Amino acid sequence: MSKIVDYFKGVRKEISRIKWTSKKDLLKYSISTIVFMLFFGVFFYAIDLLVALLRSNL
């Protein structure tokens, strides 16, 4: 039983060492990730549409 208690004490100690991201930074990184995902989604959709149009004209 003492090994389990020691394990959770170690986990608690390691969690206290983590440098958590601030809400401001988290919001900034989340927005930039969503913007990049939307950009690349539209980009690849446009490429796919262009290829489909070129293939249909052949």
- Give Cβ neighbours of residue 29 (< 8 Å, ≥ 6 apart): 21
Q: What is the pLDDT of residues 24-35, one digit of tens each?
A: 999 999 999 999
**Is residue 57's pLDDT more than 90?**
no
Is the pLDDT at 4 greater than 80, yes or no? yes
Q: What is the mean pLDDT of residues 13-18?
A: 93
At 52 the pLDDT is 95
Average pLDDT value for residue range 7-30 = 94
Distance CA 43, CA 31 (A): 18
Q: Is there a contact between 29 and 21 (Cβ–Cβ < 8 Å)?
A: yes
Express each pLDDT in 38-49 by its tens digit: 999 999 999 999
